């Protein structure tokens, strides 16, 4: 073992819970992560000692609250290695961040302009672009999938045209675990004069992300998948681009002046942060990333890879199992089906034995269409999971398969 998993588990009170008579085995980390005690404590402390609205008050609590919110922005800036803290925009999450970009960047697009995405995107990185097809007559193109769950990047030269204004691509697939070579993709897109948005919803909890090293123009992620709270997320954008983009929503905080006739907009980051935000969410997201920065992400990656290899080997012992997503570079996600058994039935029987997995299309219907399947069963791991839990999962799965009589 590379680090002390049992010590890490101690920090997550929920991991001690029972589901009926079974201990919880939480393998739904792709959907959301559990929270360490320090994040839970931070939320409680905020409401007990600091609650006040930010940016508008001269009073004591408002100043404390504002300071802590802005401190969190700096923690996140440093975690992503962004150049400036005003390149960090608080959002509600990944979906909100992509919608922000689609609405704002979308205002600059003209009929016939192209947005390039991939066949493995989450719906939140497909639907906002479809909406722009309806509104503006833009064209959405797709980098195709290959059978093993990798992207066919040999198509990239042909797909990038002089009308491709944006390439929006997931770093890691939530359904297949594929880790895309985004640095090379970004480089190619930039050679074509195309801006790049990275969906990092499945990234920071598994690997180090450095926005300057990647040289991405925009990047989004959700707080709740990186050990922070729900309802908060981040849009990172290069200063120059964010300054060019028009505001997304109008309201308080995002203005410089408002007269009866017109509005002038505030500077970054406030231009994109209308209204009272999720203050405690932002602060606790800072706490979560501060906590995460205490780990060596290379060790986390190595450990999670060990879990993936172990789970893959063990699940292959079960007759009739087919794994979806066998990319060479793969995150700790195991999507599978068992021959002749509906995924939902397996999910239900696993739950009855304390094992939390996800079943369905995982908001990636084009992937399911590609494989001509309705959905998969997905076990997704975090670095607080253990090989013993994988053993228990496999035992529960074997039992479910026996009961359902494959």
Cα 161 to chain centroid distance, Å, stands at 28
With CB under 6 A as the contact rule, the residue among 42, 86, 122, 314 that binds ligand PMP is: 122
- Taking CB under 6 A as the binding criterion, the range among 93-101, 141-149, 249-257, 398-406 that sits at the site for ligand PMP is 93-101
The count of other CB atoms within 10 Å of the CB of residue 402 is 11
> Given the complex with ligand PMP, which of 205 and 266 has the nearer CB atom?
205
> Given the complex with ligand PMP, which of 120 and 401 has the nearer CB atom?
120
> Given the complex with ligand PMP, which of 33 and 104 has the nearer CB atom?
33
Tell me which residues in 38-77 interact with ligand PMP (CB under 6 A).
none
Backbone angle region of 215, left / alpha / beta, with phi > 0 → left and psi within -120 to 50 → alpha: left
User: Quick one: which of 316, 235, 289, 391 has its CA closest to 75?
Assistant: 289
With CB under 6 A as the contact rule, the residue among 29, 77, 94, 118 that binds ligand PMP is: 94
Q: How far is the CB of 225 from ligand PMP (least distance, A)?
A: 6
Tell me which residues in 327-386 interact with ligand PMP (CB under 6 A).
363
Tell me which residues in 138-177 interact with ligand PMP (CB under 6 A).
170, 174
Asked if residue 104 binds ligand PMP (CB under 6 A), the reply is no
- Strand residue runs (E) in 200-295: 218-222, 233-237, 255-258, 263-265
Q: How far is the CB of 356 from ligand PMP (least distance, A)?
A: 15
User: What is the C-alpha to C-alpha distance for residues 299 and 210, in angstroms, rounded to an integer?
Assistant: 17
Please return the burial class of 11, using the count of CB atoms within 10 Å of its CB with bins 0-12, 13-18 and 19+: middle
Q: How far is the CB of 364 from ligand PMP (least distance, A)?
A: 8
User: What is the C-alpha to C-alpha distance for residues 369 and 342, in angstroms, rounded to an integer?
Assistant: 16
> Given the complex with ligand PMP, which of 174 and 386 has the nearer CB atom?
174
Tell me which residues in 292-321 interact with ligand PMP (CB under 6 A).
none
The count of other CB atoms within 10 Å of the CB of residue 8 is 19
Tell me which residues in 172-231 interact with ligand PMP (CB under 6 A).
174, 199, 201-202, 222
31, 140, 363, 406: the catalytic one is 363
φ/ψ of residue 255, rounded to 5: -110, 155
- Strand residue runs (E) in 120-231: 139-143, 164-170, 195-199, 218-222
Radius of gyration of the chain (CA): 22
Pairing of strands 139-143, 164-170: unpaired
- Taking CB under 6 A as the binding criterion, the range among 21-29, 122-130, 133-141, 182-190 that sits at the site for ligand PMP is 122-130
Contact in structure between 86 and 235 (CB atoms under 8 Å): no
In the residue annotation, 363 being an active-site residue is answered as yes
> Given the complex with ligand PMP, which of 98 and 394 has the nearer CB atom?
98
User: Quick one: which of 162, 221, 220, 225 has its CA closest to 196?
Assistant: 220
Total residues contacting ligand PMP by CB under 6 A comes to 13
Pairing of strands 164-170, 114-118: parallel
Q: How far is the CB of 251 from ligand PMP (least distance, A)?
A: 21
- Taking CB under 6 A as the binding criterion, the range among 33-41, 117-125, 182-190, 247-255 that sits at the site for ligand PMP is 117-125
Q: How far is the CB of 265 from ligand PMP (least distance, A)?
A: 25
φ/ψ of residue 104, rounded to 5: -80, -55
Q: What's the residue count for the chain?
A: 406
- Taking CB under 6 A as the binding criterion, the range among 79-87, 90-98, 322-330, 375-383 that sits at the site for ligand PMP is 90-98
Name 333's bridge partners.
380
Q: How far is the CB of 127 from ligand PMP (least distance, A)?
A: 11
Binding site for ligand PMP (CB under 6 A): 93-95, 122, 124-125, 170, 174, 199, 201-202, 222, 363
Q: Which residues are catalytic?
A: 363
């Amino acid at each position: 073992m590379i680090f002390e998993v049992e010590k890490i588990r101690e920090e997550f009170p929920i991991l001690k819970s029972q589901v009926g008579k079974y201990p919880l085995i939480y393998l739904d980390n792709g959907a959301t992560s559990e929270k360490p005690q320090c994040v839970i404590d931070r939320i409680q402390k905020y409401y007990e000692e600091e609650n006040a609205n930010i940016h508008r008050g001269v009073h004591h609590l408002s100043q404390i609250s504002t300071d802590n919110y802005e401190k969190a922005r700096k923690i996140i800036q440093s975690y992503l290695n962004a150049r400036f803290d005003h390149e960090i925009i608080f959002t509600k999450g990944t979906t909100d961040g992509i919608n922000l970009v689609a609405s704002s960047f979308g205002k600059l697009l003209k009929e016939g302009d192209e947005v390039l995405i991939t066949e493995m995107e989450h719906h939140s990185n497909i639907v906002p672009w479809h909406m722009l097809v309806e509104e503006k007559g833009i064209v959405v193109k797709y980098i195709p999938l290959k059978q093993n769950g990798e992207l066919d990047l040999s198509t990239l030269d042909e797909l990038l045209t002089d009308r491709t204004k944006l390439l929006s691509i997931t770093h890691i697939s939530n359904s297949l675990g594929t880790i895309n070579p985004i640095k090379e993709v970004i480089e190619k897109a930039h050679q074509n004069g195309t801006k790049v948005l990275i969906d990092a919803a499945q990234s920071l909890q598994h690997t180090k992300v450095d926005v300057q090293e990647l040289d991405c123009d925009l990047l989004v992620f959700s707080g709740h998948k990186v050990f922070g709270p729900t309802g908060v997320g981040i849009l990172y954008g290069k200063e120059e681009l964010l300054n060019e983009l028009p505001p997304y929503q109008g309201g308080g905080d995002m203005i410089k002046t408002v007269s009866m006739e017109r509005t002038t907009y505030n500077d970054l980051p406030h231009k994109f942060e209308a209204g009272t935000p999720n203050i405690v969410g932002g602060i606790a997201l800072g706490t979560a990333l501060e906590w995460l920065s205490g780990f060596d992400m290379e060790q986390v990656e190595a450990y999670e890879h060990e879990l993936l290899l172990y789970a893959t080997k063990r699940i292959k012992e079960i007759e009739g199992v087919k794994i979806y997503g066998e990319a060479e570079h793969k995150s700790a996600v195991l999507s599978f089906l068992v021959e002749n058994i509906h995924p939902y039935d397996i999910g239900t029987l696993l739950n009855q034995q304390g094992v939390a997995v996800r079943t369905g299309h995982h908001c990636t219907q084009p992937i399911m269409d590609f494989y001509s399947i309705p959905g998969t069963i997905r076990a997704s791991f975090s670095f607080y999971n253990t090989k013993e839990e994988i053993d228990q999962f496999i035992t529960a799965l074997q039992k479910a398969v026996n009961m359902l009589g494959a």
